Every structure is written in structure tokens, then in C-alpha cells.
Structure 1
Amino acid sequence: MGRYAALLRGITPSNPNMTNDKLRGVFEGLGLGDVTSVLASGNIVFRSAESDVPVLEERIQAALVRELGIGGGTIIREHAELRALLDRDPFAGLSHDRSTYLTVTFLKDRAAVKVAAAAPEHWPERPDPLTRGLGYDPAARVILAVLDNTTTGTPSGVMSWLEKTCGKDITTRTWLTVQRIVRKMESA
């Protein structure tokens, strides 16, 4: 059985239909094994004999819509992909703290991957000025960003830019959350 992480888009923990126990219930109802959650932001770790990730994504998303009315989107990554990303240490020498957020945006759509994989000078427009170190990791299909939180306001422009550039089939996690997800996958 393969180990997977489902990264759900648009989860609001205060919504009664988006609590970890309800999300886990949908996965368990699909017959997926060793279902656990990581934090309260739509990160579900599980095992499955199914190895076709797009099939898993569609099955899970259909069940989330049917059972909980959640239509935000489901992106799945295999343990090996996430472990390899951590091992590459793309944020080497940087730390995630109050002044600097290290973020990982997961892409689902192959067209978005093509745009992101292009050299930054060929991207349709530049991201938020509070963002630096933007890059693309092709093996994990993620955009890596360092958000500067030292000025007032949030660098939310980068999220708008990501949606405009790559579409809505994306979801962003902090580097610390990705590390927690991998630890949970390895302990399950």
C-alpha cells in the first residue's frame, strides 16, 4: 500500500463540515487506510492500494463534495515525492519565523506546471514585491516562495498572482507544515 498526503484547498477549520474528524470520516468511508490529519488546515495522510493519483484525487474530491459540500480541490502527493523535496532542502539557510514565511505551493494542473516551469522572466507577470526567492521544483511540482513579513500588511498579492498564473488547482502550505506532513506519513 502506498502512503499519500491529500492537500485540500479552501479548508476553514471553523466550518463545522471541515473539521478533521469529518474530513477523516470521508477518507475512511472510501476504504482508505491509516487515515490521520495534520493540523486543522486540510492535510490528510492515508494509505491506499490505488496507485493512480489522478483517480484517487477524483474519488476523494467527489466524496468531499457529496458528503460535506466541500468543492475546493484535492491535490495528492506520494510520500516519496515529499520526502525527496525535504531531502533537497530548497530553503537551505533560511528559517520560517515571524518575519519570513517559507511557502510551498502545490500544483495539480499540467498546464500550470508548464507555466511555472518556465524561467521566471517568461512568467506572465511578476509576483508581489513582498515575495522573494520564488522558484519551481519540477520533481515535486511546487512553487517555492519566501514571503517577507517585516512590513505592514500581508504579501497576499503573491496568492492572487499564483492563481492568475497557475489557475485555481493549487494549494499552499508553509514549509513547516510540509515537514510535519512527512513526519506523520513516516510514523503512520
Structure 2
Amino acid sequence: MRIISGQHKGRRITAPKKLPVRPTTDMAKEGLFNILNNSFDFNKLHVLELFSGSGNISYEFASRGALTVTSVDENIDCIKFIKKTSAELDMDITPIKSDVFKYLERAPIKADIIFADPPYDFDDAQFKKIVDLVFEKQLLNEDGVLIIEHSKHTKMDKVEHFDVGRRYGNSVFSFFKINLEE
């Protein structure tokens, strides 16, 4: 995986093979950040990455100057890798070892962007639970967005707060926003 833009543009990061991860492809990540670039000033963002795995998305936000980046994953080896890599790159990323659902129940932060990349084999109820918890616990700042990466076989367009979906190969990014009438 590589960092596409920002302070560490072009930097390649190689995760150990033992990590149970499926990093977002460079093509999909580039598409995602092109969308975000048109809507957000990265220097003002508070970002929360859920199911962070190797930290691929966190590194991209940090490289682009996000104010805070928090990475949550339940795998200790993933957390150690993020901690080591962010230290080597002098990135201010806070890795947290936790079950994502438990973390969302008690999350002490609000974010402008929450990015979740759960296992593609999650069932519909597990995907929906991520959305429900983020909005029930009011974890997004005003004008914030929840982005869930999932396979093209998972349909999220009927889930409350759904805004738009973007497909890149076999991956889809579903965007969820606070409804204006709330």
C-alpha cells in the first residue's frame, strides 16, 4: 500500500503478512480521497478509523494533515503495527485496541469523518449496527460523514442516513450523513 498525497506522498508501507487485513486498494483509496478532497479541509478534520487493520486510511488522513486520527481495531498485532509505523513516519495517530462495537458504545470523541472497513463477510445486521451506533451516540460533528467500505454484494442504500454509494472494482463506499430534518 502507498500514501497517495500529503507530507508522505508516494511512501510505500508494507504490512506484515501475519496481519489479518484486506487493505483498501490504491485505486479505491484514490477515488475516496478525491471525493473527500472536494468537501473537506483536511487540516481541520478529526478522523476515526474503525476496523483499521494496517492503518492504511489513517496514514492517508495523517499525511494530509488531519488534526486528529484515531484508529480502532481489536487485533493487537494491527495496533502494534499502526503504533510502530506512525512513530516511524512521525504521524500523530492514536491506535486503540478494542472491539469496535464496544468502542462505539462508549466513544469519548466526535469526528468529522468516521471510516469503517469491517470484514466483508459481516451480515447486514452487523453493517447496520455500525450506522445505528454512530448516529444514536451522535459521534459525528455537524456536516460529518460516516463512510463504510463493503463488497459490491452488500446493499446499504436502504439503511437510514444513507446518502450515496461509490463503487471501485469489488469495493463500495457507502456514505451516511445526519439528516437535515433531525
TM-score of the aligned structures, taking structure 2 as reference length: 0.28
Decide which structure has the larger Cα Rg and report it: 1
Greater RCO (Cα-Cα under 8 Å, separation 6 or more):
1
TM-score of the aligned structures, taking structure 1 as reference length: 0.27
